[in-house]
Amino acid sequence: MISAVFDEEWEQVLETTFSHRDYDTDYDLYFQLHADKFHALNKHAPSLSSEYALIPLTKEIIEQEQNEELFEDFNDFWSSVDDFIDQGFGMAIIKDGHAVSTCYTCFIDGLQFEMYVRTLEEEENQGLGTMVSRAYIQDCLNKGISPRWSTQETNESSCKVAEKCGFEFVYKLKTYEFEF
């Protein structure tokens, strides 16, 4: 379980309450998209090489066994693939018939859609996470949706991708993670 702390008083309550338990702390960073910055960065974005294809995320891609690694956290966000298809959306980069990078809705609050990005380790550091994120963001903007980005402070690569996509840091919250 993860709990976010909004003020020092609440932090003291949590630390007292869970003093007998093992827990880890971190900070969640919250970013806001600056559409003008996004569009300016997108103008100079590299394109995918011919070995890759960028396509909308489908039920078949999510359920494909060879894509299991990319979707191991999927059930943390969605009760079923059908619920996701009905309410969320996403993008995938395909190579040799299977997904190597995905970006999809992981949380919805009205017209604010939190995004979750994942790239296979062997495909990292090629800009695929940035490309699939930019495609998702553009899809959001086309639909009148505000994309949201948050990540743990210790996830430096996620922070870099957020900035490459036109997001700017807004605030951070201390988090506590523990087994429940």
- Give pLDDT tens digits for 96-139: 999 999 999 999 999 999 999 999 999 999 999 999 999 999 99
Cα distances (angstroms) measured from residue 19 to each of 8, 9, 27, 120: 16, 15, 19, 37
- CA 108/CA 26 separation, integer angstroms: 23
Q: Are strands 112-119 and 146-152 parallel, antiparallel or unpaired?
A: parallel
CATH classification at residue 144: 3.40.630.30
For residue 157, give its domain range: 24-177
Q: Is 108 helix (H, G, I), strand (E, B) or coil?
A: strand
Instruction: Please check whether residue 80 lies inside any domain of the structure.
Output: yes
Dump pLDDT digits (tens) for 71-95: 999 999 999 999 999 999 999 999 9
Domain count, the chain: 1
Q: Does pLDDT of 143 surpass 70? A: yes
Inside any domain, residue 9: no
Looking at the domain assignment, is residue 5 inside a domain? no
Q: Is residue 8 part of a domain?
A: no
For residues 137 and 9, give the distance between their C-alpha atoms in angstroms, rounded to a whole number.
36
pTM of the model: 0.89
The model's confidence at residue 4, banded by pLDDT at 50, 70 and 90, is: low
Q: How far is Cα 65 from Cα 72, in angstroms, rounded to an integer?
A: 11
**C-alpha 46 chain-centroid distance:** 21
- Dihedral angle at the C-alpha atoms of 115, 101, 122, 131, nearest 10 degrees? -80
User: What are the tens digits of pLDDT across the range 8-47?
Assistant: 777 787 778 777 778 777 889 999 999 999 999 989 888 8
Assess if residue 50 is contained within a domain.
Answer: yes
Q: Is residue 48 part of a domain?
A: yes
- Per the CB < 8 A criterion, the answer to whether 35 and 167 are in contact is no
